[in-house]
Amino acid sequence: MARTLLIDTDTASDDAVALMMALRSPQVEVAAITVVAGNVPVEQAVSNALYTAELCGSDVPVFAGCDEPLKRELESATWFHGQDGLGDHGFRPTRRTAEHGHAVHALSSCALANPGLEVITLGPLTNLATALLRDPSIAKNISRCVVMGGAPCCEGNVTPAAEFNIWVDPEAARIVMLSGIPIELVGWQLSRYDAALNVDDIEKVLALDTPLARFAIECNSRAREAYLEQTGEHGISLPDPIAMAVLLDPSLALEVSEHDVEIECESVLTRGMTVVDRLNVTRDERNASRWGEVHDHGRPAKIVWKLDVPGWKRLLMESLR
């Protein structure tokens, strides 16, 4: 039986590939796509989500959400993904439009109507945090929340200390981490090096010769250039699809451990840093707790440290056929 999934996204190029993976998967039924400002402004992110759903032949409802972080101005990543988030090739929906309701309401309603709901966040956590602030009880109906975000115990991609999704709205990330929701953190670092699509991988995807495969590569054309500029590494880095792969097939997470996760909100230098006490040097009780145990300051999160790279790429290929 398919699991019920809600996707919260700031739809740009890698998000679009993740959406295709979910919408094509027999493992999950996507109940809704909620959209937040992040990589691009929320209106553009909604357009990108609608286009991707159209391409998949899906009528999944798409809801526009928060257009700025809780306490900060939005700082987008159009330099990385292109001004439209999809490499500036003119991709636009021709049939579908967004639903009338707000994403925060849709998220809450979906959680209340679907006990055991799985959630994946592919952008800043503003929508989910706002929903939790309005109704903290929804946390008990979410059985699993995969968060694409953070750079635990390594360098970030927007500052030396922070990954973009957490950095954009660290206050929201802190609220979610302390909410008691079972969190699985899939950091940006898992999408680098051999996990990025290399030239051979890209040729294999294009050889599928399907509209989905062509779109997956074309919409990431600017992201491919930006990844090289940013890291000096060749290829297409796909952090959101990797998070989606872990959600669809948890066995792809080869090394996982449970830890307290703190989000830095005050420091200019380390804003958005995901502080993970991997060695339990603080002797915090949460680092010795089980994933399901809730304490006054949340529960430990599952941190994914190692990915089955061949397995993730196989799943991607299957999704794009």
- In this prediction, residue 264 carries a pLDDT of 97
Asked whether the predicted pLDDT for residue 18 surpasses 50, the reply is: yes
Asked whether the predicted pLDDT for residue 214 surpasses 70, the reply is: yes
User: Mean pLDDT across the stretch 164-187?
Assistant: 97
- Res. 286 pLDDT band, cuts 50 70 90: low
Among residues 146, 66, 52, 134, the alpha carbon closest in space to that of 102 is found at 66
Convert the pLDDT of each residue in 73-93 to its tens digit.
999 999 999 999 999 999 999
Return all residues near 15 (Cβ < 8 A) that are at least 6 apart: 9, 39, 45, 48, 49, 122, 123, 240
| Residue 305 parent element (H or E) | strand 301-307
User: Mean pLDDT across the stretch 97-123?
Assistant: 98
8-state DSSP, 163 = -
Parent domain of 24? 3-319
Q: What percent of the chain has pLDDT over 90?
A: 92
C-alpha separations of 293 from 164, 255, 271, 296 in Å: 29, 21, 28, 10
Contact 228/234 with Cβ under 8 angstroms?
A: yes
Q: What is the CATH number of the domain that holds 167?
A: 3.90.245.10
Convert the pLDDT of each residue in 49-68 to its tens digit.
999 999 999 999 999 999 99
Q: What percent of the chain has pLDDT over 70?
A: 95
Compare 23 and 287 and report the one with higher pLDDT. 23
User: Mean pLDDT across the stretch 258-268?
Assistant: 95
- In this prediction, residue 291 carries a pLDDT of 46
Number of structural domains in the chain: 1
- What angle do the packed helices 221-231 and 13-23 form, to 10 degrees? 120
- In this prediction, residue 281 carries a pLDDT of 82
In whole angstroms, give the CA distance from residue 212 to residue 52.
9
